[in-house]
């Protein structure tokens, strides 16, 4: 596994030595206090106690999915299996997590919990070559993040894998069909199957293009949309009979808006994240807006 090196290029070029965080709690506290900045996750609780264990940190991400953080303190510690155990426990105790979210973030946020893509993030100073191979075989949403601390003011977080898995289900936080205004909503798979061959092929073309932008971006299929992510969402995609909606994390004030093609949705409710909506109904629309996809990738 290649080592990450950091250099100071002001004046004489010097390599900054990396080091482990000496106090176990130091790294955990830093990440908990800045979880939104580092991972796009809202921190909920530290040392979350369950009947037969204690999760290091727990939160909820920008897609409203539960996230468990486990910190590997030694090379031989099997933090991946530990994280899997906690993930399975959480899936069997959804009501407990909903109550936690309700107590900290309120009823509305608790009602929006999405169980289709819960995640375990394992953080360590290093992983063995077998760790990455193991998580790739498990087909679970487990992410390995290696940290390096440089001096007193710099930390690097290196995401070592990009999970490629499908959504678990199309149910809400209590296992029921998703409903809005009393009517059962379709899930992404249903919308996609009804979108027609033209829009399905457009989606495949857009998906291939987005994933080709770099090894650090990957696809998460959620209940109602696809999220293309790095550490945080970059682009969220919905597929309908009328065309594709792409929600990009770009400031609409920095973009030339075109009604029916590129729209500001800061004041409009929508699935996924991103304040800029791109509506694609043809290959020509895709070509016209590729530069915005590039910007979203490069600026997030």
- The predicted-structure confidence for 194-207, as pLDDT tens digits, reads as follows 999 999 999 999 99
Burial class (CB in 10 A: 0-12, 13-18, 19+), 40: buried
pTM (predicted TM-score): 0.79
Domains in the chain, please, with CATH?
Answer: 6-159 (3.40.1350.10), 186-299 (3.90.1150)
- The predicted-structure confidence for 59-103, as pLDDT tens digits, reads as follows 999 999 999 999 987 666 788 888 899 999 999 999 999 999 999
Dihedral of the alpha carbons of 273, 234, 126, 87, in degrees to the nearest 10 = 30
Strand partners, 53: 50
Burial class (CB in 10 A: 0-12, 13-18, 19+), 12: exposed
- The predicted-structure confidence for 148-186, as pLDDT tens digits, reads as follows 888 778 888 998 887 766 555 444 433 344 444 334 468
One DSSP character per residue, 30-82 reads: HHHHTHHHHHSEEEEEEEEEETTEEEEEEEEETTS-EEEEEEE-STT--HHHH
Task: Give Cα 187 to chain centroid, integer Å.
Answer: 19
Let me know the angle formed at the C-alpha of 273 by 272 and 278, rounded to the nearest 5 degrees.
90
- Record the tokens describing residue 282, joined without a space: 């043809």
């Amino acid at each position: 596994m290649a080592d990450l090196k950091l250099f100071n290029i002001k004046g004489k070029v010097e390599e900054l030595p990396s080091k482990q965080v000496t106090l176990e709690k130091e790294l955990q506290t830093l990440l908990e206090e800045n979880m939104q900045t580092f991972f796009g996750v809202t921190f909920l609780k530290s040392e979350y106690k369950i009947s037969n264990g204690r999760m290091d940190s727990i939160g909820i991400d920008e897609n409203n999915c539960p996230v468990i953080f486990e910190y590997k303190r030694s090379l031989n510690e099997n933090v991946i299996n530990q994280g899997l155990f906690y993930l399975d426990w959480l899936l069997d105790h959804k009501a407990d997590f909903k109550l936690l979210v309700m107590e900290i973030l309120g009823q509305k946020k608790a009602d929006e919990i999405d169980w289709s893509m819960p995640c375990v993030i394992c953080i360590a100073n290093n992983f063995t070559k077998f760790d990455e191979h193991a998580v790739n075989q498990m087909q679970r949403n487990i992410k390995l993040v290696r940290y390096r601390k440089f001096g007193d003011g710099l930390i690097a977080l290196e995401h070592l894998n990009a999970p490629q898995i499908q959504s678990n289900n199309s149910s809400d936080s209590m296992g029921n069909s998703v409903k809005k205004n009393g009517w059962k909503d379709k899930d992404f798979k249903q919308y996609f199957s009804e979108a027609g061959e033209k829009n399905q092929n457009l989606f495949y073309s857009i998906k291939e293009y987005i994933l080709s932008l770099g090894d650090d971006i990957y696809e998460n299929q959620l209940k109602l949309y696809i999220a293309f992510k790095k550490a945080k969402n970059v682009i969220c995609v919905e597929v309908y009979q009328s065309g594709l909606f792409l929600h990009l994390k770009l400031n609409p004030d920095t973009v030339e808006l075109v009604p029916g093609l590129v729209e500001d949705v800061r004041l409009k409710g929508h699935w996924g994240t991103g304040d800029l909506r791109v509506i694609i109904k043809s290959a020509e629309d895709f070509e016209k807006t590729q530069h915005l996809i590039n910007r979203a990738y490069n600026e997030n």
